[in-house]
Amino acid sequence: MEKRAPLEKVCVADTVVQACLAHAFTTEQEEVMGLLLGEVTVHHGCGTTAAISSETVRVAATVSPAISTGAKSFGGNVNAPTPTPTPTSPSTVRKRANVWGAWILQRSVRRADRVEIAPEMLAGASDEAERYTKQVGHHTRVIGWYHSHPRITPYPSQVDLRSQGSYQQMESGWVGLIFSVFYSDATNRNGVSIHCFQTGPGETHEKVEIEIVPVGVCR
């Protein structure tokens, strides 16, 4: 039951958001992408919490990026965002994700409006997560992905939903973030939007609550 529990909230360190936006703003000609590092916790009825395959993580991102071979990562060494549990019914099990790191990926497809995670890229991010674990002393793993939507809205396309759904087969708490940049309409000039989502039954779009917090804080 815990493995397939839905994701109800994502808590993201503000420095991770800054790093992802900086990446998104590098180009308005094509989408860019990366992976999210952190932990997913399971919340049982009455607000009890248990981390999946680890202790509850309390590590957050720092401002300075660390550059590794083939990609860039933004890591942490201070206390981290860990959401405060809220009471739920005894029969309810929910997942919450805590994100404190980002791993930038190189594009592997030619189409400007498509991004894809190659197996070797996922392996590289997993190695980076292990490095985080050793550096900060808390278990870290790959728990999601982000990509940009230059000049368009932040809502996922059918391709995005299909990709997200495939990742959720591995981890039902897999996080999907979209950063809309360089977009303007009649009411919004050059606005920036961040959208958190998952894929529901039948490849439907499900919005997920997101909280952006200062380093080390998740209220």
Helical ranges in the chain per DSSP H: 14-24, 119-136, 158-168
> In angstroms, what CA-CA distances link 14 with 3, 106, 118, 208?
28, 23, 27, 17
Percent above pLDDT 90 for the chain: 44
Contact criterion met (CB below 8 Å) for 199 and 172: no
Number of domains in the chain: 1
Provide the percentage of residues in the chain whose pLDDT is more than 70: 68
- 37 belongs to a structural domain: yes
In a domain, 101, yes or no: yes
Question: Where in the sequence is the domain holding 49, given as residue range(s)?
Answer: 7-145
> Per the domain annotation, does 48 fall within a domain?
yes
Residue 206 lies in a domain: no
Please report whether residue 174 resides in a domain.
no
Cβ neighbours, 10 Å, residue 156: 23
112 part of a folded domain: yes
Closest listed residue to residue 160, CA positions, set 202, 107, 199: 199
Q: Which two tokens stand for residue 75?
A: 């890591």
Q: Identify the residue with better confidence: 109 or 128.
A: 128
Question: Residue 9 to residues 78, 98, 127, 191: CA-CA distances in angstroms?
Answer: 22, 9, 26, 24
CA 89 to the chain's CA centroid: 27
Poorest-confidence range of 73-87, 110-124, 128-142, 197-211? 73-87
Q: Is residue 85 part of a domain?
A: yes
pLDDT tens-digit map of 96-121? 999 989 988 876 555 555 566 767 77
Task: Decide if 151 is inside a domain.
Answer: no
Task: Read off the CATH number of the domain in which 78 is found.
Answer: 3.40.140
Q: What is the mean pLDDT of residues 76-89?
A: 41
Query: What is the reported pTM?
Result: 0.75
* Contact yes or no for 140/133 (Cβ under 8 A): yes
Mean pLDDT of the chain: 76
Sole residue written with tokens 């303007």: 184
* Per-position DSSP letters for 45-104, written without gaps between them: GGG-EEESSSPPP--B--SSEEEETTEEEE---B----PPP----TT--EEEEEEEEEEE
